[in-house]
Amino acid sequence: MPNKINRLSEQFKNIFRVWIQAIRDTDAKYKKPRIKMTLGVRIALISLRVYLIILISLSFFKLFTLIYQGH
């Protein structure tokens, strides 16, 4: 039984290694942008990122306040 568990865990480790390597290869491929962005586009993208972070933070805050309101 332990031998079977060891083989199964090794198979899972190999699967995750392949996935991680595929992600690393994809990240390396798209690390450098292929298009040139103007200053306006960069500012718009940064503001959208900030907006998204604020929106997610407010959603979590609302979730936690609803959870703790019941106690």
- What confidence tens digit (pLDDT) does each residue in 3-23 have? 777 787 888 888 999 999 999
- What confidence tens digit (pLDDT) does each residue in 21-57 have? 999 999 998 888 778 889 999 999 999 999 999 999 9
What's the chain's length in residues? 71
Q: Is the pTM for the entire model greater than 0.75?
A: no
Whole-angstrom distance, CA of residue 58 vs CA of residue 68? 15
Question: b/e for 48-61, b at 16 or more Cβ within 10 A?
Answer: eeeeeeeeeeeeee
Confidence (pLDDT) at 44: 97
